[in-house]
Structure 1
Amino acid sequence: MKLGEVCLETNDVIKMADFYRKILNISSDCKDEEHQFIITEGTTLTVYNNGEVKSNRNHNISLAFTVDDVEEEYKRLLHLGIDIIDAPKIQPWGAKNMHFCDSDGNHVYFRSIPK
């Protein structure tokens, strides 16, 4: 069994999709207000609004993206104006993480894993 999709439900699909495209350095001209694919290969990442108002109190989930160089990504995200909660630091389990939130307050981590 494989994890097929992570879907972020939001009140503002365009704002959320644009945020993830910006931090993941992905381009797209899709402006669908109901559903957008962000990552389409492997486990997909989508943004969706089913017409119901969301509370945006998603305190029980976080997304972690493995990157080649978390220090370089940190500099890039600062340049983009992303509010970083925790600058890159090595965690007890060995990964080097940085932490920030998306436009709905979901916790997002970029991490590098030593080889």
Structure 2
Amino acid sequence: MKVGEVCLFTKDVIQLSNFYKSLLNIDNGSDDSIHQFIISEETTLTVCYDETERKENSQNICLAFTVEDIDFQYERLKALGIKILQPPTVRPWGATNMSFLDPDNNLIVFRYFPKE
């Protein structure tokens, strides 16, 4: 079994989609304001307008992306103007993680696992 899709509900599909397209360095060729697929390898990240009123940061979700070079990503995100909540930090289990928020205040973690 594979995870086929993760969907983020939002009031601003364009803003959130553009954030993730920039973050993932993907151009899906879409400017749809209701629904966008952002495909990364085998999994699809979908951003969808669902007309539901939500309080700030009520999604209770964390998206984690495994990266090859955490220091490069840290500098890239800072250059994009993304506020980093936690800079690259080695965790007790050996991974190096950093965290930040997307425009809808969903928590995002970039993680790096050292090669054995």
Decide: shared fold, TM above 0.5. yes
Q: How far is the alpha carbon of 1:61 from its aligned partner?
A: 1.1
Q: CA deviation at 1:40?
A: 4.9
Q: Is the 8 A contact 2:61 2:106 kept in 1?
A: yes
- For residues 100-115 of structure 1, the aligned pairs below 5 Å read 100-115=100-115
Q: Distance in 2 between matches of 1:107 and 1:75?
A: 18
Please report the RMSD computed on the Cα atoms of aligned residues, expressed in angstroms: 1.4
Q: 1:20-61 CA deviation, whole Å, 9 max, x = no partner? A: 111112223311011101125312111001233333423521
Q: Which residue of 2 aligns with 1:5?
A: 5
How many residues are matched? Answer: 115
SS in 1 for 2:92: coil
Q: Which residue of structure 2 lines up, in the alignment, with residue 53 of structure 1?
A: 53
Q: Which residue of the partner structure matches residue 77 of structure 2?
A: 77
Separation in structure 2 between the aligned mates of residue 43 and residue 80 of structure 1, nearest angstrom? 24
Contiguous gaps of at least 5 residues in structure 2: none
Identity over aligned pairs, percent? 50
Partner of 1:35: 35
Q: Which residue pairs with 1:20 in the alignment? A: 20
- Contact kept in structure 2, 1:11 and 1:54, CA below 8 Å: no
Evaluate the alpha carbon distance shift between residue 95 and residue 79 of structure 1 in structure 2; reply closer, same or farther with a 3 A threshold.
Answer: same
Q: CA deviation at 1:9?
A: 0.3
Q: Report if the CA contact (8 A) 1:35-1:49 is conserved.
A: yes
Preserved CA contact (<8 Å) 1:64 1:110: yes
Report the Cα offset of residue 78 of structure 1.
0.4
1:19 partner SS: helix
CA distance in 2, matches of 1:35, 1:52: 14
Structure 1 runs of 4+ aligned residues shifted over 4 Å read none
Q: Distance in 2 between matches of 1:43 and 1:111?
A: 17
